[in-house]
Amino acid sequence: MRGSLSKVLAIFWKDILLEIRTKESVTAILVFALLVLVIFNFAFEPETATMNLVAPGILWVAFTFAGVLGLNRVFAIERENSRLAGLLLCPIDPMLIYWGKLLGSFTFMFAIEIIVTPIFLVLLNLPLFLPRLLLIIVLATLGFTSVGTLFSALANNIRARDIMLPILFLPIVVPVIIAAVEATALVLQSSPWGDMMTWLQIMIAFDIIYLVVATLVFQYVVEG
Amino acid sequence: MDETESALTAWAIEVEALSKSFGRNRALSNIDLKIGRGEHVIVFGPNGAGKTTLVKVLSTLSKPSSGTVRVDGEDIRSDPVKVRRRISLVSHDTFLYDNLTVYENLRFYGKMHDVPDLEENVREVIARVRLEPRLHDRVGILSHGMQQRVSIARAIIHNPSILFLDEPEAGLDPQAVVMLRDVLESVNTPERTIVMTTHNLRQGVEMGDRVVILDRGKIVYQASRDDIDTVNFYEIYQSYTGTGE
């Protein structure tokens, strides 16, 4: 168990180090997410009823498409120079590669969300301290990246991978995005905890199901 | 099979009736091959003969369509993780991360192989490939020849008993090839089994205890070095493959 954890962390740390040095993913995702927010902010007047209605959708559109951009890069690093073969030659269960990669995808996406969310809240003149929104972001991001990491590995073997990833992946992840949008709307309306429980439960169930499924099938995706 | 039993197995690699197909295309056809412990086998063949596919199957990267492959007595399909502890592969792709340093790359792969005394081992393997002064340089700034030497260090960091070399000289200039050959000699130990594919007939014949010629997925010729007419090996190769590659 300890050995497995150290290998997961080694893969995770390797990806973090590469990202710190190249800034290939985070910069592109961050710029994209901020652009979406700014454009929508100009399209809808802040503090209007329409803005309150569409704001959760804007936030999750920004996160979803920025997330897809990031997921395209998750296995691109391993594709170059046949590094995935190098990883597969290591005497480890392939599921550890999945968990290491998932930890990296989650961290990158969560880091972007932590930067983008306060800007979104300021643009909408909303309070900055919304712990319930943080919970929604954590649950939705976990679901998003658990499926996304698997599909990124799958798309890695496909020729038109940049196009195929969103086509394959977005229909699967729709339930978690809808739940996140609905729950975010309730948080922004200051609704009580009880109102958003159903959406939180959907996200938790989605996370558990897809973490288990992706862990089990990852080996067949990368080893063929 | 436990460690003691596998240690008693006579062959490092046993291949029986191995075939590998990609759709309708048969890359390997009914291959039988036994490689002894510490033996150096050189596999020749024209492009598309199936050399890389054979190495991929033997090194667990690709599953056989039919037939059996045992590495150190272990069936590669039943416990590939156990097999991977004992093998390593140097290919024309180095598997290295350009934006990590030589040290970081070796440390990463060492961790993935549970290498004990990792610091000491990293320094030892980097000394064997004679790249100590470049230990903290990023791999991306090294020449292709140097990267290939780092790749050899990566491959031997867990002291594998079987080393697969798939055209390690591809894309290297003659000077780098000479350097690489020296490095390969330095990692060559009597107990290490080596299976190498190459297009370089002269060097291959010099390095191997046995040569195998593969053509269209089949072994068409094999002989031990003592039985080979080294002077006329080029003609032998041509007669079996119909090419002068």
| Residue B177 domain-assigned (yes or no) | yes
| Residue B136 domain-assigned (yes or no) | yes
| Residue B225 domain-assigned (yes or no) | yes
Evaluate if residue B82 carries a pLDDT over 90.
Answer: yes
Whole domain around residue B154: which residue ranges? Answer: 37-63+83-241
Evaluate if residue B34 carries a pLDDT over 90.
Answer: yes
Tally of domains in chain A: 1
Residue B158 pLDDT grade (very low, low, confident, very high; cuts 50, 70, 90): very high
| Residue B17 domain-assigned (yes or no) | no
Overall average pLDDT of the A116-137 stretch: 89
Evaluate if residue B4 carries a pLDDT over 50.
Answer: no
Most A CBs within 10 Å, among B97, B103, B147, B163, to test the A interface = B97
Residue B81 to residue A17, Cβ atoms within 8 A = no
Q: What is the DSSP letter of B187?
A: T
Residue B112 to residue A21, Cβ atoms within 8 A = no
Q: Compare CB distances from B112 to A7, A81, A224 and report the shortest one's residue.
A: A7
Evaluate if residue A100 carries a pLDDT over 50.
Answer: yes
The CATH number of whichever domain residue B134 belongs to comes to 3.40.50.300
Whole domain around residue A212: which residue ranges? Answer: 2-223
| Residue B69 domain-assigned (yes or no) | no
pLDDT tens digits for range A9-50: 999 999 999 999 998 888 888 999 999 988 888 887 766 777
| Residue B72 domain-assigned (yes or no) | no
Complex ipTM = 0.89
Evaluate if residue A190 carries a pLDDT over 90.
Answer: no
Tally of domains in chain B: 1
- Asked if residues B34 and B15 have their Cβ atoms less than 8 Å apart, the reply is yes
Query: What is the count of residue pairs from A and B with beta carbons less than 8 Å apart?
Result: 70
Distance separating alpha carbons of residues B211 and B224, to the nearest angstrom? 6
Evaluate if residue A212 carries a pLDDT over 50.
Answer: yes
Q: What is the dihedral of CA B89, B150, A77, B171, to 10 degrees?
A: -80
| Residue B147 domain-assigned (yes or no) | yes
- Judging contacts by C-beta atoms under 8 Å, the chain A residues touching residue B153 are none
| Residue B93 domain-assigned (yes or no) | yes
Residue A224 pLDDT grade (very low, low, confident, very high; cuts 50, 70, 90): low
Average pLDDT taken over every residue of chain A: 91
Say which residue, A128 or A212, is predicted with more confidence: A212
Q: What is the DSSP letter of B139?
A: G
Distance separating alpha carbons of residues B22 and A144, to the nearest angstrom? 33
Nearest CA in chain B to A4: B112
